[in-house]
Amino acid sequence: MLIMIKNLIFIRFFLIFFLIIKSVSSQECFPDDRKSIRLFKKAEKYISKGKIYDAQEILKLYNDPFYVFLKIKIAWIKKNYVKVENDGLVLINNCPNSFPLVYYYLAKIYFDRNEYIKSKLYMQKVVELKSTDFPFNDVDKILERSSVMVNIIENPVKFSPSLVKGLSTKYDEYLPVISPDQEIAFFTRRSIKDGLDFLVPSYVEEFMISHKLNGEFDSGNALPYPFNMNNNEGAASISIDNKILYFTSCSRNINGYNNCDIFYVYRNKTGWSNIFSFPNTVSREESWESQPTVSSDGKKIIFASDRKGGYGGVDLYETNLVDGKWSDPVNLGPVINTISDEKSPFLHTDNQTLFFSSTSFPSLGGFDIFYSRLDKDLKWTQPKNIGYPINTKGDEIALFVTTDGVKACFASNQINEEGGWDIFSFDLHESAKPKRVLFLKGNIFSKNTLLDKDMSLEVKNIKTNEVTTIKVDSGSYVASLVLEEDDDVVVSLKEENYSFESIYIDSEDSTFDSPSQVNFDLDVLEVGSTFDLDNIYFETNSFNISSISKKVLNEFIDYLRINNTLVLEISGYTDSIGNFLENKVLSEKRAKSVYDFILKNGILKNRLSYVGYGELNPAVSNSTKKGRAKNRRTEFKVIRK
């Protein structure tokens, strides 16, 4: 009877014990004798009370799976992750369905190592084996995050980096930024210097400038005074007209504070101005501010700072130019900033796409590059990882994207080329590309001389009728507009007492996909002088005005309202193909079509007349296709001013 009672007690104890440790064991590796169970319980009790030494004294004599499990548990507590991994892999190989906690340990180790495929595999096994009383509640979170990262890795984006020649040498080059017109590059170079200033050859960091010549950048030169005066400078951004450079400088503080802050300097025809600092609300003495990026309209700067009050260690902030003064910086908020670090912002010329680096999820390891866009409510969208293999287990920082959105540039020491750190570019994949940007720059001439006169260009979106006014500064202009893929625009100059000039830009014209130089040559209006109206097209042997031509004529009508005393003759011309008399009749009908359209839109009849000249007075030779196209034109002759 006593034996039976003892057996019942053992069975009851065994069942209770089995339920307690169900989350860490199954019957394939379960101890089946009283002594093993008793020793296991005793060791586990020591562990729970923090008496690791006492537990180890019991466990050192045994190597059965359950004892090995407790040894792994102790290794986890002591953060001996190498032992956890080595012994854990052996244990789950011998007992694949017994120890969900070991699978959990391994999944965590691999997650922290950025080995997400392994982490996902082992955490899936935890879900399969664990009981409701499993001691950790972050299983689903880690599994979800591992799955996201595996999805990024298993769906690589297009990435084929190539060395940017000229900028990259046998020395280290990093922190590149290219001007919006893609003609100037700024970067930092670390090279060996010797000579009178150096007793022995020494490594020196220099803030560099490079210019594009024949489609490639030169090797660059150190920026002259006031730069490179024994300060650590770089991480720059330049205005769209290349006239204001914003940059980071460390150890340059008029109060003697050794810190990194943001400064700016003006670029002119003779060189650079003195350096100017931002107000102390932007550049603080008690924190560092770095890596500025300026909007294309010059009214916003986004930068990185470790100032107090943020969401993490380093956050992104913005300051805005209001009435000529930079406002108090505002944190970009918890969508962009996290409990981790965010830095190296780059605001694309579209003013809507922000690239930056972060150590936050979902990061493949270290700093990854992310991008976010402004939505219709001007709120930043949830950032997206730019993708693998652009992002790796290492640090990816300081990405720059060209104005046309085609190329991205970055510095890396992971690709063996000419030096340690070099500058590379690659074709940016479609999903990360910013909005379409029309970037034009040029000069306004009159009689082959730069016209230094206060004036402005108008850029009209044909679809929306939205008009953007571009100021001309000392005869030069820069225009940057965000457009939808199918938007056409008309660019026009409507100056009083000068000829009308315009250009129609079709969305399908790839000529303007990249930054383009467009100059205008204005004629002074004098009685008897003539000027062409470009983009007035007719179908072959037809006098019907094309829809594009009507858009241009609408702008010309505005010009006539500005020059409201101007009286003009509309002169129609053809090329020399065909019958002379038929060409004359056709040219007169075309001139009348323009005449009728202008009258229909409110211009008085006594200000206009029309004549068809046919193939007379060719502007150029009719011997080539291009020449004949030039001769099929509509001219305006000044009758009275």
Answer yes or no: is pLDDT of 46 > 60: yes
Answer yes or no: is pLDDT of 30 > 50: yes
Nearest to 570 by CA among 502, 637, 497: 637
pLDDT at 255: 61
pLDDT at 298: 95
pLDDT confidence tier of residue 47, bands split at 50, 70 and 90: confident
* DSSP at 335: T
What tokens appear for 292 in the block? 């500025």
Answer yes or no: is pLDDT of 446 > 80: yes
Answer yes or no: is pLDDT of 14 > 50: no
Answer yes or no: is pLDDT of 314 > 70: yes
Q: Give me the residue label for tokens 């046309």.
A: 404
Three-state SS for 82-126 is HHHHHHHHHHHHHCCCCCHHHHHHHHHHHHHCCCHHHHHHHHHHH
- Whole-angstrom distance, CA of residue 53 vs CA of residue 38: 18
pLDDT confidence tier of residue 41, bands split at 50, 70 and 90: confident
pLDDT confidence tier of residue 527, bands split at 50, 70 and 90: very high
- Show contacts of 377-384: CB within 8 Å, 24+ apart: 379/335, 380/332, 380/333, 380/335, 380/336, 380/354, 381/335, 382/335, 383/335, 383/336, 383/356, 383/358, 384/431, 384/432
Residue 245's beta-bridge partner residues? 238, 265
Answer yes or no: is pLDDT of 3 > 60: no
What tokens appear for 418 in the block? 């000419």
Residue 573's beta-bridge partner residues? 614
CA dihedral for 34, 36, 37, 41, sign (positive or negative):
positive
Mean pLDDT of 191-218: 79
pTM of the model: 0.85
For residue 355, with 0-12 CB atoms within 10 Å meaning exposed, 13-18 middle and 19 or more buried, which class applies? Answer: buried
pLDDT confidence tier of residue 15, bands split at 50, 70 and 90: very low
* Mean per-residue pLDDT over the chain, rounded: 89
pLDDT at 259: 80
Answer yes or no: is pLDDT of 436 > 90: yes
Answer yes or no: is pLDDT of 496 > 80: yes
Answer yes or no: is pLDDT of 543 > 50: yes
pLDDT at 21: 44
Residue 381 CB-half CA count within 13 A: 13
Mean pLDDT of 461-481: 94
Rg (CA), the chain: 36
Q: Give me the residue label for tokens 């409990």.
A: 339
Q: Phi first, then psi: what are they for 190, rounded to 5°?
A: -110, 115
- Whole-angstrom distance, CA of residue 344 vs CA of residue 417: 24
Mean pLDDT of 271-295: 92
In the chain, the domains with their CATH numbers are: 34-153 (1.25.40.10), 436-523 (2.60.40.10), 525-640 (3.30.1330.60)
